[in-house]
Structure 1
Amino acid sequence: MRDMPRLLSMRRNSSILVSLLLTVPLSACITMKSEHDELASEVMTLRKKVAERDTELVETLTQAQEQMALVEEQLAAAEKILRSNQASIGVRVDNLEFDLSDVRGTAEDSLNELAALSQNVADSRTELDERLTKVESKLNAETDIPEGKTDLLSAAERALESKDYGRARRLFRTYLSRYPSDAKEAEVRFKIGQTLFSERDYRSALGEFYWLVQNAPDSAVIHDAVYYSGLAFAKLGQCDKSLAYFNAIVKDGSEAPARYKTQAAKQIKTLDADTGKICADRRTEEDEEEEAAPAGES
Structure 2
Amino acid sequence: MGFVLVLVSMVLVWGYGGVEGKECTNEPTQSHTFRYNLLASKNQTWKEEVMSHSHNYHLTPREEEEGGQDDDDWRMLYEKMKMKKAPEGLLKQVSLHDVRLHGGSIHGQAQNTNLKYLLMLDVDRLLWSFRKNAGVPTPGTPYGGWEDPTIEVRGHFVGNYLSASALMWASTHNEELKNKMSELVANLSICQQKIRTGYLSAFPSEFFDRFEAIQHVWAPYYTIHKIMAGLLDQHSIAENPQALKMLTWMVDYFYKRVLNVIRKYSIDWHYQSLNEETGGMNDVLYRLYSITGDPKHLVLAHLFDKPCFLGLLAVKARS
TM-score scaled by structure 1? Answer: 0.25
Higher helix content, 1 or 2: 1
Q: What TM-score do you get using the length of structure 2 for normalisation?
A: 0.24
Larger Rg: 1
The structure whose RCO (Cα within 8 Å, separation 6+) is larger is 2
